[in-house]
Amino acid sequence: MAAELGGALAAVSLHDDYVTAAYLVLFALLLIYLAVMATKLARLERELAELNELADNRPPVAPAGAERQGEPARDSEPVGAGESAP
């Protein structure tokens, strides 16, 4: 019985190396994934900061429907109103 137990323990210890290697590979892949996501997040934050700066420096726009001083009102037609359906 002791020999059987020793053989089972030896077999388990052989598989421990494979399990450890599998966990190390999984951990490495997780680190690579996190690095890629961190890079993308940093790029998006830079782009967002640039867009916010552009929006802050943009001249104010009159609200929709308000006429500019000195310009006549334009008669607007809904998009696609002049088109005929096939």
What residue segments make up the domains of the chain, in order of their start? 22-57
Q: Name the pLDDT band for 82 (thresholds 50, 70, 90).
A: low
The model's pLDDT over 24-75, given as tens digits with 9 standing for 90+, comes to: 999 999 999 999 999 999 999 999 999 999 999 988 887 776 665 655 556 6
Q: What is the DSSP string of the chain?
A: -HHHHHHHHHHHHHHHHHHHHHHHHHHHHHHHHHHHHHHHHHHHHHHHHHHHHHHHHSPP-PPTTPPPTTSPPP----TTTTPPP-
Q: Report how far residue 38's alpha carbon sits from residue 10's, in angstroms, rounded to the nearest whole number.
A: 42
What's the one-letter identity of residue 25? V
**Residue 85 in this model has a pLDDT that exceeds 90:** no
pLDDT at residue number 53: 95
